[in-house]
Amino acid sequence: MNNQKEQVWFITGASNGFGLALAKKLLAAGYKVAATSRNKASIEDKIGTNPNLLALTVDITDDSEVKAAIDETVKNFGKIDVAVNNAGYMLLGALEEVSAKEFQQSVAVNVFAFQNVIRNVMPYFRQQKSGHFFNFASSAGYSADAGAGSYNAVKSAVIGFSEALALEAKPFNVKVTIVSPGLFRTNFLGAFPVAQNKIEAYGTQNLVDAMNQFNGQQPGNPDKLVKILIDTAGKENAPLHLLMGGDAYERAVNYYKSQLENLEQLKELSFSTGFE
């Protein structure tokens, strides 16, 4: 990929959290950044005026708006080198509590919107024979949590389709990195919706209260995470999976250990299903 300082980054969900931290660090270092949010004023208010910043109002669930934003980025900066699928949210609630509409909206933002970016950036990446996607998943995509099943589902989906994208994009020299953070000190735990249909038997409110109390005490430093992304972008040996935070690493390792044990226990049963 081009000299790093010449890179153009396209970032969704740039008005807060990792997206905002990444945009600020990139701009401070002289990179060009197209930053999207539901209201670009929220980006401009937090970052200020910068000739290398293109703030864009985008509904990422609307494919036509995403395409227009990407085309405008290329028109303004001449190219896109790195696309960051960061926008998303966690919906809390037992699966019985979550309505069809709530689940569909979560999938629209956390899954379909990522695909909108991929679908519209990939033609540029293919043409220039370079590019790098950073798709934000979560350590919650590796193992389940009672009360957060819809979030486990969408983040597992991000991991799955990103692995497929890496295979599809490799012939065009396009990199894919799945970023799976653990608990980082952003506003994430202070801004999650809860399913409107409350079923007392599940005790979802206890989970909500616990998360609210823990907010602000998360061990992860978002500035350190985004620096790793900047250092990783475009590298030949860029990893497919980036588990960020010791808690994320341990969660994934424990999950895979338990799954391997389960596979071994059921190995004979698995092999028993073939024709004699």
Q: What is the pLDDT of residues 57-85, one digit of tens each?
A: 999 999 999 999 999 999 999 999 999 99
Summary mean pLDDT of the chain? 94
Q: In what order do the strands lie in the sheet with 131-136?
A: 53-57, 32-37, 8-11, 82-85, 131-136, 174-181, 241-244
Which runs of consecutive H residues, i.e. helices, occur in 97-203?
Answer: 100-107, 113-128, 149-169
Task: Please report which residue ranges of the chain form alpha helices under DSSP H.
Answer: 17-28, 40-47, 63-77, 100-107, 113-128, 149-169, 204-214, 222-232, 246-265, 267-271
Question: Is the confidence at residue 156, as pLDDT, over 90?
Answer: yes
> Rounded to an integer, what distance in angstroms lies between the CA atom of residue 58 and that of residue 66?
7
- The least confident of 24-33, 115-124, 146-155, 187-196 is 187-196
Q: pLDDT at residue 225 above 70?
A: yes
Beta-ladder partners of 10: 34, 83
> Can you tell me the mean pLDDT for 177-184?
92
Cβ atoms within 10 Å, residue 2: 12
Q: pLDDT at position 209, please?
A: 87
The set of residues, in sequence order, having a beta carbon less than 8 Å from that of 30 and lying 6+ positions away, is 5, 52
- The confidence band for 4, taking pLDDT boundaries of 50, 70 and 90, is low
Catalytic residues: 151
Among 31-40, 126-135, 153-162, 177-186, which is the least confidently predicted range?
177-186
Residue 180's beta-bridge partner residues?
243
- Give the pLDDT of residue 46: 95
- The band of 211, judged by pLDDT with boundaries at 50, 70 and 90, is confident
Contact 40, 14 (CB under 8 A): no
Q: Which pLDDT belongs to residue 192?
A: 83
Fold of the domain built from segment(s) 4-247: Rossmann fold (3.40.50)
Please give the C-alpha separations between residue 220 and each of 203, 211, 228, 245, in angstroms, as whole numbers. Answer: 27, 15, 13, 6
Residue (of 259, 215, 231) closest to 132 by Cα position: 231
pLDDT of residue 84: 99
Average pLDDT, stretch 147-167? 97
**Which band of pLDDT confidence, cut at 50, 70 and 90, is reported for residue 6?**
confident
* Apex 104 CA angle, 100 and 108, nearest 5: 175
What is the residue extent of each domain of the chain? Answer: 4-247
Instruction: Give the mean pLDDT of 201-211.
Output: 89
- Burial class of 265 by CB neighbour count within 10 A (0 to 12, 13 to 18, 19+): exposed
